[in-house]
Amino acid sequence: MKLFRALGSYLLLSALAAFLAAPFVWMLLVSLHPSKAPIPTIERVVPTRFEEGHKVFDPHFENYKTVLFDSGLPVPIFLLNTVFVTACTVCLVLLFTSMAAYGLTRLRFAGRETFFRMFWLSMMFVGPVLQIPVYLIVRSLGWLDSYYALIVPGASSAFCVFLLRQFFIQIPFDIDEAARLDGASEFRIYWKLILPLAKPALATVAAFTFIATWTDFFWPLLATNSLYMRTLEVGLSVFKNSYGGNNWPMQMAATVIVMVPVLAVFLYAQRYFVRGIILGSTK
């Protein structure tokens, strides 16, 4: 009975996994068809050619080369922009939100609870309301179409402050009380004691911020105008409108190129994601 149940579970899970993975497999296969090839039917989705009457596997990896270097778009620049912006954002978020969380949990000062309430409330302001004023504020700072516009508005996050606060509260208070009695400065306690203990939570924040920044579309779309300031996500969105929508192998190759880095990070850091989501739900 138990065995049957397990077997059934595996079957169901495999079917679901196939459902989730099939689009990606399909995408990879289509990206290897020759440029401008008609849309293959399911029997022909594996790119093949005939050689002496035999079907042989015939992948067109040159599509990737075309997308990266011969598309007329500075794809390597898109990639560099994305890496730079993401790296800066992750560092700043880690620094600012952990400092805030330290202040909110370890230090006493007037209005602390009010501050926390404000962070908490701001998580409820939804994107559509903020997009216009934030754009105009960034414009009046003269930052549009620069790295400042891409980095600074994302440099802190109420969600991450909240997440880290939840974690910091669970770190025993006698650790820093002891250090304080020994005369350690607050910065030293924060930097040398609390941060090392909070590593898993920080990794979670880093992983989240990385994915959110790397895959952000709306803000970079609005905040940048020149081609050389575009991020990968926005830059490659033009592939959809290119080729009159008629060159699927090339579009799929571009799609794979956007997806691979972020998937790699996810697979590397997946356990932190899981932890982060659970922390975020205050479990």
Partner 1 sequence: MKKSWAGYLFLAPAALHLFVFALLPIGYALFLSVFKWDVLKPNKPFIGAKNYVDTLTDSAFWNAMWNSTKFALVSVPAGLAVALFVAVLVTQRLRGMAFFRTVFYIPAVSSGVAISILWIYIYLPTSGLIASLIQMLNAGIAKANQLLHISLSLLPTDIDFLNDKAWALWALAFMSIWTGLGPRMVLFSAGLLGIPRPLYEAAELDGASRWQCFKQITLPMLTPTTFFVLITSTIGAFQLFTPVYMMTQGNPEDSTRVIGYHIYEEAWSRFHVGLASAQSFVLMVPLFFIALMQERFMRRRLEGFSIQ
Partner 2 sequence: MAAALGFWLNLGLGCVNPKTGGKTILRVATWGGAGDDSEFVKTVRRLRQEFEKQNPGVEVREEGIPGPGEYVKKLLQSFVAGTEPDIITLDASSAAVFIDNDVLLDLAPLIAADSEFNLNDFYENVVDIARRGSRLYAIPGDFTPIVMYYNKRMFDDAGVPYPKAGWTFEDFANAAKRLTKPGQFGFKFVNWMPGWITWMWNEGGDVLSPNGDRAAGFLDSERCQRAAEFLRSLVSVWKVAPSLSQSAAAGVDLFANGQAAMEVSGHWAMIGYKNSPKGPDGRPLLRIEDVGVAPLPSNIGKSVTVMYEAGFAIGKNCKHRELAWKYIKFMTSHRVQSEYNATGIAVCARKDVSQERAADERERMFLALIPTARAPWGAKVEGYETVERAGETAMNAIITGSKSAADALAEAARKIDKDFSRR
Scored b (16 or more CB within 10 A) or e, 220-248 reads: bebbbeeeebbbbbbbbbebeeeeeeebb
Min dist CB 257 to partner 1, Å, is 9
CB-side neighbour CA atoms (13 Å) of 282 = 7
Phi, psi of 183 (to 5 degrees): 90, 15
- The verdict on 78 binding partner 2 (CB under 8 A) reads no
| String of contacts with partner 1 for each residue 183-212, x by CB under 8 A | ---x---x--------------------x-
The phi, psi pair for 57, rounded to 5°, reads: -65, 130
With contacts defined by CB under 8 A, how many residues of the chain interact with partner 1?
97
Which residues, 67 to 96, sit near partner 1 by CB under 8 A? Answer: 95-96
We find the least distance from the C-beta atom of residue 126 to partner 1, in angstroms, to be 5
Tell me the C-alpha distance between 153 and 175, whole Å.
34
Task: Give the shortest CB-249-to-partner 1 separation in angstroms.
Answer: 11
90/163 with CB nearer partner 2: 90
Distance, in Å, from the CA atom of 24 to the CA atom of 259, rounded to the nearest integer, reads: 10
Min CB(83)–partner 1 separation in Å: 14
- CA 117 from chain centre, in angstroms, equals 27
Question: Quick count: other Cβ atoms within 10 Å of Cβ 116?
Answer: 19
146 binds, among partner 1, partner 2, none (CB under 5 to 8 A by kind): partner 2
- Of 235 and 276, nearer to partner 2 (C-beta) is 235
- Count of residues binding partner 2 (CB under 8 A)? 43
**48 sits near partner 2 (criterion: CB under 8 A):** no
Residues 212-271 that bind partner 2 (CB under 8 A): 222, 225-229, 238-244, 246-248, 250, 254
Residue type, 244: G
CB closer to partner 2, 83 vs 212: 83
Instruction: Tell me which residues in 139-158 interact with partner 2 (CB under 8 A).
Output: 139, 144-148, 151
Longest dimension (CA), the chain: 84
Q: Is the dihedral of CA 114, 119, 120, 122 positive or negative?
A: positive
Half-sphere exposure in the Cβ direction for 264 (13 Å, CA): 6
Angle between helix 158-169 and 112-122 (nearest 10): 130
12 binds, among partner 1, partner 2, none (CB under 5 to 8 A by kind): partner 1
Q: Which of 50, 54, 72, 126 binds partner 1 (CB under 8 A)?
A: 126
117 binds partner 2 (CB under 8 A): no
Instruction: Report the C-alpha dihedral over residues 154, 159, 162, 166, rounded to 10 degrees.
Output: -120
Residue 11: contacted member of partner 2, partner 1, none (CB under 5 to 8 Å, by partner type):
none
Q: Does 128 bind partner 1 (CB under 8 A)?
A: yes
Footprint of partner 2 on this chain (CB under 8 A)? 35-39, 66-67, 70-73, 77, 81, 84, 88, 91-92, 95, 139, 144-148, 151, 222, 225-229, 238-244, 246-248, 250, 254
